[in-house]
Amino acid sequence: MGIGPGALEHLTPKARQAIETADVVIGYRTYIKLIQPIIASNAEVISGFMGQEVERARAAVAKALENKHVAVISSGDPGVYGMAGVVLEVAAHEKADVPIKIIPGVTAATAAAAALGAPLVGDFAVVSLSDLLTPWELIEKRLHAAAKADFVIVLYNPQSQGRKEPLARAHQILLQYRSCDTPVGIVKAVGRDGEKVIITTLRSMLDYEIDMSTTIVVGNSTTRVINERMVTSRGYNIRER
Ligand SMILES: C[S@@+](CC[C@H](N)C(=O)[O-])C[C@H]1O[C@@H](n2cnc3c(N)ncnc32)[C@H](O)[C@@H]1O
């Protein structure tokens, strides 16, 4: 299930109920900490590190086969770079006949968009800059295609302390198709302590602090800054009554 981008107020009632009533709660330890207050005191908690997704999915299937109600936690939405896919794959691989429900959540992309204004009101593409599971050549190909097609582009997993090159390369690709003045939103830790929202331009986007808890929204040719909010025009005629 998806717990939303951070604060418990972004958790849907359905996800909250599933966590509160779970016998076993499984998730990356940072996310477990965020929802700790609503985990039942007698529930078993299995937490782990980033990169141990397959192990967590296997643990979830094993517990479900013991007839336990298991809640597997993803930040945002579980079907958007989350645990939903790997749990379904592992259950099928292990021929485990267990009921699996996917409970959606508020994504970092939509929460970041709300904090910025309304940049995603038209077609947009989400690209993760992590090459852990996707070859970098394919990521570049997708960036070229999305930029060329004038999609608003949401960048996930933009950069970490030791991994700055992918964002620099993505920036160079975007500049091939978009004006330097294109509005860019940088949203760090949306819905969490330390939330930071910045609206800048494609020219200056690399001048800001960007880490793995940051979502970047790159506007398209119709995105403007209106009253300090980032807004993409959908094409409505607002002049005539
Ligand atoms: C593996 S993806 C998970 C996406 C998540 N399942 C979703 O639906 O939004 C992780 C990336 O999401 C973005 N992200 C997750 N939580 C965020 C938050 N609270 N604020 C800003 N970006 C966030 C960051 O770009 C981070 O590197």
CA of 5 to the centre of ligand 1 (A): 7
Whether residue 112 has its Cβ less than 6 Å from ligand 1: yes
Give the pLDDT score at 50. Answer: 74
For 145, the token pair is: 């295609």
Cα 238 from Cα 133, distance rounded (Å): 44
Give the pLDDT score at 235. Answer: 86
Give the pLDDT score at 6. Answer: 86
Give the pLDDT score at 240. Answer: 81
Which letter does DSSP use for residue 69 in this model? -
Cβ contact 120:154 at 8 Å: yes
| Residue identifier of the C-alpha nearest atom 2 of ligand 1 | 81
- For 186, the enclosing helix (H) or strand (E) is strand 183-188
Domains delineated in the chain: 8-93 (3.40.1010.10), 108-232 (3.30.950.10)
Cα 108 from Cα 5, distance rounded (Å): 5
What is the Cβ-side half-sphere exposure of residue 236, based on CA atoms within 13 angstroms? 7
Whether residue 126 has its Cβ less than 6 Å from ligand 1: no
Give the pLDDT score at 198. Answer: 98
Give the pLDDT score at 8. Answer: 87
Give the pLDDT score at 48. Answer: 79
pTM: 0.96
Strand 44-48, strand 70-72: pairing = unpaired
Mean pLDDT (10-residue bins), the chain, 241 residues: 91 96 95 93 90 93 97 97 97 97 98 98 98 95 98 96 92 98 98 95 97 97 98 90 78
